[in-house]
Chain A
C-alpha cells in the first residue's frame, strides 16, 4: 500500500483503538491484530506522533507492581477520526469513479 496513505490510516486506527476507553501498548496491538499487523516499533512511532500532535495524552498507572502507560484520546483526536470519516466518503466516491468502467 502507498506509504503516505498507510501512515494516515494507521494514525486513525490507533486513535480508534483508544476511543471508547483508555488503552495501553500491548492491548492496542492485540485489538488491532484481527485487522492489521502492527509491530511494537511502528506503534511507538505512531503514539509519539499523536502525542506531539496533542491527539492523545499519556498517563502512567501502577499495575501488578510495575508501571504501565495508558493512552487517552483528546478532543482533537476524536475530531481526527471524524475528519477521517468524511474523507473516506470522498475516497469512496473517487473509488466508484475509478471502477466505473469495469462494471
Chain B
C-alpha cells in the first residue's frame, strides 16, 4: 500500500472523531512513514511496518473517551433549520424518554452481568461456610456417641470444600470474561456513535 492510500483510508475510517485529532494522528503516521523511507525502506515496506489501518483505528478508538465522541457528534451538526428545532422540541417527550430507556437498558445489562458474578461468589462463600461448620458438627456427633453422624458430617464437609474450590475457579474465570465483555461493549457503543457519521 502506498502512503497516500494509507492516509486516505485512515482519514475515512476516523471521520467520526474531531478534525483536530484526525490531523494530529495523520501527521504523526506520515512522519513515521517518511522517516522509515529515509532510513532506506521502500514506501510499501514503510507503510506495512505501521500495521493495518483497522488495527490503528481500533487502538485510536479505544483511547478516545466516549464523552468526547458524543460531544463531537452533538456539536458538529450545525445545519439546524426552524422545522427541525420545532420537531426536536415537540418530540422531546419521545426522544428523551427513549434516550433514558437506552441508558437504562445498558445499566441493567451491567447490573445483570455483575449480579451473576456476585451470585457465584455467594455460592462459593456458602459452600466454604458449610465445609467449615461441618467440622464442629462432626465433633458434636462424636461427643454424643454417634460416630455414623460424625463420618457423614466430615464427608459432607469435604464434598462442600471441593465444590467451593471448583466454583471459585469458575467464578474468577467468569469475572475475567465479563471484564473483557464490558470493554467490548464500550467499544461497541463508541462505534455506534461514530458509525452513523461515516455512513
Contact = CB atoms under 8 A, between A and B. Distances in A.
Interface of A: 24-27, 30, 39-42, 44-45, 64, 66-69
In the A-B complex, the 8 residue pairs with the closest CB atoms: A26-B35, A41-B59, A40-B32, A26-B32, A40-B50, A44-B28, A25-B32, A41-B56
Given A26-B31, A27-B35, A44-B25, 7 more contacts: A25-B28, A26-B32, A40-B29, A41-B60, A42-B59, A67-B31, A68-B35
B77 interface: no
Contacts of B51: 39-41
A44 B59 CA distance: 11
Nearest to B39: A26
A68 B60 contact: no
Contact of B31 (A24, A30, A41, A42): A24
B36 interface: yes
Given A26-B36, A26-B39, A39-B51, A68 B63 contact: no
A57 to B, nearest CB: 16
A23 to B, nearest CB: 11
A98 B25 CA distance: 43
A25 B35 contact: yes
A66 B32 contact: no
Given A41-B56, A41-B60, A69 B38 contact: no
Nearest to B51: A39
A55 B24 CA distance: 19
B46 to A, nearest CB: 10
B62 to A, nearest CB: 10
B31 A25 contact: yes
A98 to B, nearest CB: 22
Interface in B1-59: 25, 27-29, 31-32, 34-36, 38-39, 50-51, 55-56, 59
Contacts of B32: 25-26, 40
Contacts of A25: 28, 31-32, 35
A83 B68 CA distance: 33
